[in-house]
Structure formats: C-alpha cells, structure tokens
C-alpha cells in the first residue's frame, strides 16, 4: 500500500533542515485546505492554501501536498529557521458553501534549534 | 491595511457572569466567523455571519450568541459563564460566505473564567 506520513504532535529540527508536517483530514467532500501557523498568544496566521483540483502548490520556502486518495496533507518548509517555531494546523472546508466551518486538524508543534 | 481587530485582548470573569467580545473584520470583508480555542487544541467553530445573517452554527450551547452589524463588525455574547468557557476566542473575516477565499484571523480575546 501507499506510505503516508504520520501526524506527529511535536517535531524538532535543526536550523537549515527541511521540515515536513503531516495532517489527516476528515471529510472527503472538502475541497479547500489551508495551513496556518500559530505563535504563542496569537491567532492563526495563513501560510498557504490548496484546492482539491491540485495536488501540489508552492510558496516562498513552503510547499503543500494534497493526497485525496488517503485524505492527507503535508506542509514542507525548506531551510527551517528559528522564526518558524510555532504550532502548525491544517484546516479543511467547502469553498463555496456558506456557513461551512473551517475544521482544524491536530496541531504540530515545530521547534527549531540553532 | 488594518487586519482583523478584536477587543478586549484579555478578560477575567466570574462564573455565572455574561461577557461580550467584539470583532472588526478587514475592510471589505462581509463575513465574520467566531472560533473557540481551548489550550492545546485547534480552534472550534462557533458561528458564521454574512451580510448580518447567521449562516452557520457549531455545536455550542444556546448560552452562546452573536450578531453582525451594518458595518460588518460583530459581537459574541456568552451568558452564564462556566469555568470550561475559559479559552482564546478568535474572530476570522472573509470576503465571501463560502470559505474559498480564505479566512484571516485576529489575535483573539483570552477569556478566563474564575
């Protein structure tokens, strides 16, 4: 079978390493997905999004991969920096349905040491 | 441009009291959603308002209510506070009723019930 990354509640990396954060989503009908970064005492901050008609999207130092077959998302952060330390959440929703909630996955705490 | 603004930033209330939290969305955004985030967990959906009408409601008791004003700002009211209502309350604004254009979160109101 296909190997899918496991969700880890915490991830510790060295500065300069690449980080991969995994997330399983719950609703096979979800068609819009967002990764958020949340620092202590702050609200979630948008990182990158992807729609269900795509399987990969790249931003600045970040890449999101979507595997609809197994309902899995991953966030890849290149050359991780200490400022990337935070809790990361994936979220799913229906793009065109009014009143639909953002459903958040289990967060991953990323710790970057220099 | 101002982001999503929430007030107050911190609040301490006694069990049984009532509280009102306020949110101003990004200029031009007509949708406001409210989320509750308990320590160590992801945000949970409470309400969505669009064009001053409730469009979605999460699994929260009737003690929670909200409204949206003609200028698209919003208030969240919680009556008969319980200790378990202690949480970070987040407001998110979006330009549309559906989530397909993303949600921008404020920094939240930290509510402590004693």
Provide the pLDDT for residue A1: 42
Q: What is the DSSP letter of B58?
A: -
Mean pLDDT over all residues of chain A?
Answer: 92
Element (H, E) at B94: strand B87-94
Provide the pLDDT for residue A97: 82
CB atoms within 10 A of CB A103: 18
Select from B58, B60, B105 the least CA-distant residue to B84. Answer: B60
Dihedral sign of CA atoms B43, A29, A36, A11 in order: positive
| pLDDT, mean of residues A24-41 | 94
Q: Is the pLDDT at A2 greater than 50, yes or no?
A: no
Q: How far is CA A28 from CA A5, A70, B29, in A?
A: 18, 9, 28
Residues of chain B with pLDDT under 50: none
Q: How far is CA A44 from CA A28, A61, A68, B81, B83, in A?
A: 24, 19, 24, 25, 24
pLDDT in tens, A49-104: 999 999 999 999 999 999 999 999 999 999 999 999 999 999 999 888 888 889 99
| pLDDT, mean of residues A26-45 | 94
Q: Distance between CA atoms of B32 and B103, rounded to whole angstroms?
A: 9
Provide the pLDDT for residue B99: 75
CB of B43 less than 8 A from some CB of A:
yes
Provide the pLDDT for residue A4: 56
User: Which residues of A touch chain B, with CB atoms under 8 Å apart?
Assistant: 32, 34, 36, 41-46, 49, 51, 89, 91, 93-107
Dihedral sign of CA atoms A83, A108, A104, B78 in order: negative
Q: Distance between CA atoms of A106 and B62, rounded to whole angstroms?
A: 27
CB atoms within 10 A of CB A64: 24
User: Are B99 and A41 an interchain contact pair (Cβ–Cβ within 8 Å)?
Assistant: no
User: Are A94 and B98 an interchain contact pair (Cβ–Cβ within 8 Å)?
Assistant: yes
Q: A3: pLDDT confidence band, cut at 50, 70 and 90?
A: very low
Dihedral sign of CA atoms A43, B17, B73, B96 in order: positive
CA contacts within 13 A on the Cβ side of A21: 30
Main-chain phi, psi angles of A83, to 5 degrees: -70, -10
Q: Distance between CA atoms of A42 and A98, rounded to whole angstroms?
A: 26
User: Are A95 and B98 an interchain contact pair (Cβ–Cβ within 8 Å)?
Assistant: yes
Provide the pLDDT for residue A13: 97
Q: Distance between CA atoms of A89 and A66, rounded to whole angstroms?
A: 15
Query: Across the interface, which of A34, A99, A107 has its CB nearest the CB of B48?
Result: A99
């Amino acid at each position: 079978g296909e190997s899918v990354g496991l969700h880890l509640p915490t991830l510790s990396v060295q500065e300069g390493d690449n980080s991969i954060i995994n997330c399983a989503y719950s609703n096979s009908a979800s068609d819009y997905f967002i990764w958020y970064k949340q620092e202590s005492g702050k609200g979630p901050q948008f990182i990158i999004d992807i729609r269900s008609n795509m399987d990969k999207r790249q931003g600045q130092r970040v890449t999101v991969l979507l595997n609809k077959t197994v309902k899995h998302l991953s966030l890849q952060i290149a050359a991780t920096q200490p400022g990337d330390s935070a809790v990361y959440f994936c979220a799913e929703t229906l793009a065109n349905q009014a009143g639909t909630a953002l459903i958040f996955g289990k967060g991953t705490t990323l710790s970057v040491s220099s | 441009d101002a982001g999503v603004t929430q007030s107050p930033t911190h609040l301490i209330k006694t069990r049984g009291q009532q509280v009102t939290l306020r949110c101003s969305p990004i200029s031009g955004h007509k949708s406001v959603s409210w989320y509750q985030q308990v320590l160590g967990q992801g945000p949970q959906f409470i309400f969505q308002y669009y064009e001053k009408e409730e469009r979605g409601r999460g699994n929260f008791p009737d003690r929670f209510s909200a409204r949206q004003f003609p200028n698209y700002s919003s208030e969240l009211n919680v009556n008969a506070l319980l200790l378990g209502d202690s949480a970070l309350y987040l407001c998110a604004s979006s330009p549309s009723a559906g989530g397909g254009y993303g949600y921008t979160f404020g920094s939240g109101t930290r509510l402590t019930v004693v």
